[in-house]
Amino acid sequence: MKEVGQYFKEKLDQYKPDVTEQFWTKIQNDKGLKKFNRTALIKRALLYYITPVSIVLITGAVLWSISNNQNPDLKTVEVLTIQNNTISEPTEPQQEPYTTPVASMESEPTVSKREQSSVSISKPDPTNKNNNPVISKNEPVSKNKPVQNTTTEPNLNPTTIKTTPANNSKQPDLVKNNTPKPSQTEPKTSIPDTTEAIEEERAHLSTDPDEDKKLFIPKGFTPNNDGKNDLFFVYADWEVDSFEITIYQRGGIIVYKSNDIQQGWDGLFQNMDAPQGAYVYIITYKNQKGDDKMLKGTLNLIR
Amino acid sequence: MTEEEIIKGCQNGREKCQKMLYDQHSKLVMGIALRFAKNENDAYDIFQDAFLKVFLYIKNFKFLGSFEGWVRKIAVTTAISWYRKQVSERKNEIEIELVEDYPELSIDDEIEISLDEMLKMVNELPDGYRMVFNLFAIDGYKHEEIAAMLNISEGTSRSQFFKAKHVLQKKIIEKYKFN
């Protein structure tokens, strides 16, 4: 004899009937289970693929930005060393390079079109080459001569322009203008050469109506209260809209910021004299067409 | 694949592992569902609910104890919640039995009853009897636990178990009287 409960337990406890496949398909297609599987899949993807990939990408981006940041620093250091070498020489004629472009720019509207300027260049070229001896003795015959005299100051040493005509015409650089040693030693040479050089310079400085007018940004200034180049100005011969200049130390600290093109930097930072050296400027402005422009570069503070 | 690998695959939502797990444990779950339900359709519903619960809550399985026991427990709780749903639709009958000692009911163990017939007998029991009989006699729960699970008193559980046994004994004796 057996107890009823025991009797049933022995047989029903391990009762395992066969199950048809149709129940599996029902379970498989259940919405809750599908959602569960989907979220699990996304989690797996996040864990095994997206996270490692993003880590690799982020580290790569960080390394790239670090390497990118180092480059400008190196450049400024190089520029500083080069310019310091050149500037350490006597700096008397410094003020002239600044004023020359301004003067020439003011008179630019007279030579407004490229055709005229190109003609003015092409004319003196053959005449100068062919008639060099004649012109050297006599006064220069070209029509442009009087214009040059009025525009460029008499102080300007013709030889400096003669020695580096190409450079001068491209950029009225402080560095390049500041190598006047040969001018002091060499005697004055023939005038036609200077006219040619000046003419070339004027031709480059003259602007087309089609082309953008460019700002003139000096490469350096000397805030020593001697009345010469005490302020750092940016020159423009048109009314500049939405002008903004920011000057940074090499560390990235902003030492000067202004929206007024008429206002110049006096070399002071927090009412202290800023140290001599190279500074980085970023200028944003609107050109005559109204397009936003940005200029970056370095300037030298010399004491 | 070992059981642990399959379980981990299910925890990560891999359908292959879910299928393997289903193949391993579907019979067990179906057996439980069949004896707790009143008819086959109810059993299939319980079976499906139980398996969905296994897949959805397998994240919570911490590899303490056997997995089969865990599945079994889920199946039983699913059956209980199924029963509760049906009870709540009707009026809750309160049954208080003061008898403490129930006589032992036994049958001749030479009587051979087929599984299907046994199952049919259990299925034909009234709902309350069936639940208590299944839980106590086959799944091995104590009357205390059953009382808590089914929201009845311990005495009710005892008396229902006794009555269930009595009904089953009667049925068996009726059937095999002349053997």
Nearest CA in chain B to A44: B12
Residue A219's nearest CA partner among A281, A130, A151 is A281
pLDDT for res A54: 93
The string of pLDDT tens digits covering residues A212-262 is 667 788 888 888 888 788 888 888 877 787 888 888 887 888 888 888 888
DSSP state, residue A271: T
Residue among B30, B49, B57, B160 with most chain A CBs within 10 A, to mutate: B30
pLDDT for res B100: 62
Q: Between chains, do A8 and B168 touch, taking CB under 8 Å as contact?
A: yes
| Cα distance between residue A88 and residue B5, in whole Å | 78
Amino acid identity of residue B114, one-letter, is: S
Please give the biggest Cα pair distance in chain B. Answer: 58
The string of pLDDT tens digits covering residues B60-107 is 888 888 888 999 999 999 998 888 887 766 555 555 555 566 777 777
Whole-prediction pTM: 0.48
Residues of A in contact with B12 (CB under 8 A): 40, 43-44
The string of pLDDT tens digits covering residues B8-20 is 888 888 888 888 8
pLDDT for res A107: 47
% of chain A beyond a pLDDT of 70? 52
Q: Which of residues 35-54 of A touch B (CB under 8 A)?
A: 36-41, 43-44
Residues of A in contact with B34 (CB under 8 A): 15, 17
The CA distances from residue A43 to A32, A49, A113, A253, B18, in Å, are: 17, 10, 68, 45, 18
Strand partners, A235: A216
- When pLDDT is averaged across residues A84-88 and rounded to a whole number, the result is 55
pLDDT above 60 (res A298): yes
| Cα distance between residue B111 and residue B88, in whole Å | 38
Q: Between chains, do A39 and B13 touch, taking CB under 8 Å as contact?
A: yes
CB B166 within 8 A of CB B125: no
The answer to whether A238 contacts chain B (CB < 8 Å) is no
The string of pLDDT tens digits covering residues B124-170 is 888 888 888 889 988 889 989 988 888 888 888 888 888 888 888 88
Question: pLDDT higher for A67 or B108?
Answer: A67
Name, in order, each residue with C-beta under 8 angstroms of A40's C-beta and a sequence gap of 6 or more: B11, B12, B13, B14
DSSP reduced 3-state for A296: strand
Question: pLDDT higher for B69 or A80?
Answer: B69
